[in-house]
A and B are shown apart, each in its own frame.
Chain A
Amino acid sequence: NAGVTQTPKFRVLKTGQSMTLLCAQDMNHEYMYWYRQDPGMGLRLIHYSVGEGTTAKGEVPDGYNVSRLKKQNFLLGLESAAPSQTSVYFCASSPGRVLYGYTFGSGTRLTVV
């Protein structure tokens, strides 16, 4: 079982560039999430989805957009990258609400210069 797969694993962007992070899960989970992890800040929720075709804002959504066109994929987009978006990004999925806990991907380390 692959579980939750994130691509790419590493990326360096210049300020103002755009990119898309891909998260794919093969567990038929309904719920998917994007978090960012920063030193001293812990993990913070960016956006989440409770099913195919749905998205919602989390705690820190500004500067990001998401799409869930297929149940197994959840895309995180940065339209115009800023140095403040330098972080490690984690995708997670869950069969339903928080009763079931999360399964995480291995992360994408993004540096914006």
Chain B
Amino acid sequence: KQEVTQIPAALSVPEGENLVLNCSFTDSAIYNLQWFRQDPGKGLTSLLLIQSSQREQTSGRLNASLDKSSGRSTLYIAASQPGDSATYLCAVPYNNNDMRFGAGTRLTVKP
């Protein structure tokens, strides 16, 4: 069974700092990995989708990497801003018609 773990559960950083969020998964036979952002009381917004054949995806200040063999992905946020404060979730496909989600990392960027 696929298990997805995100560490740390919560992170607080000062504005301007670069940071890394971690995601690990137990079954490396994945098609892709998706990173989402969830604001309090809101839905999930897709940030990056990395296919299994890729090692990195970039969007603005965000860079996500994928290492299937080690069962890990990282989300790098450069020059963090208070507006980046949210919960970040990673997810991987499971059983063709489902996804397994991590519990998320709650990020707070202090002005």
Contact = CB atoms under 8 A, between A and B. Distances in A.
B32 interface: yes
B32 A99 contact: yes
Prevailing SS type, chain B contact patch = strand
A104 interface: yes
Contact of B99 (A50, A98, A107): A98
A106 B97 contact: no
Interface stretch (A37-45, A66-74, A77-85): A37-45
Contacts of A102: 34, 44, 46, 91, 99
Interface size band for B:
20 to 34
B62 interface: no
Interface in B78-111: 89, 91, 93, 96-99, 101-104
Nearest to A103: B46
Interface size band for A:
20 to 34
B93 A98 contact: yes
A6 B44 CA distance: 13
Interface of B: 31-32, 34, 36, 41-46, 49, 51, 89, 91, 93, 96-99, 101-104
27 contacts: A31-B97, A33-B98, A40-B103, A42-B101, A42-B103, A42-B104, A45-B99, A58-B98, A59-B98, A90-B43, A92-B44, A97-B96, A97-B97, A98-B32, A98-B96, A98-B98, A98-B99, A99-B31, A99-B93, A101-B32, A101-B46, A102-B46, A102-B99, A104-B43, A105-B43, A106-B43, A107-B41
